Amino acid sequence: MGIGDRFPTGNGPKKPLTKKQLQKMREAYAHAEEIAEKVRIKEEKEKKEREEKAEEVLKTQFL
């Protein structure tokens, strides 16, 4: 038994994706976009809160 007898090499032509696989990929991509948008909004909100707290600290320290 040789090295390549058990496992196919990665050099051969790849099978095309099925319609079902493409649909799953599209759904996953859409879901990922939704999550990314939620994360972006949350990060903006947290950044704003951090900046406000930093300004408060600076005002109390130097006034």
Query: Hey, where are the domains in the chain?
Result: 18-62
Q: Angle 23-25-31 (CA atoms, 0-180°, nearest 5)?
A: 105
**Tens-digit pLDDT profile for residues 7-31:** 666 676 788 889 999 999 999 999 9
Confidence class of residue 35 from pLDDT cuts 50, 70 and 90?
very high
Mean pLDDT (the chain, rounded): 87
pTM score > 0.75 for this model?
A: no
Judge whether residue 51 has pLDDT over 70: yes
Whole-number Å distance between alpha carbons of 46 and 7: 50
Amino acid found at 22 = L
pLDDT computed for residue 8 by the predictor: 63
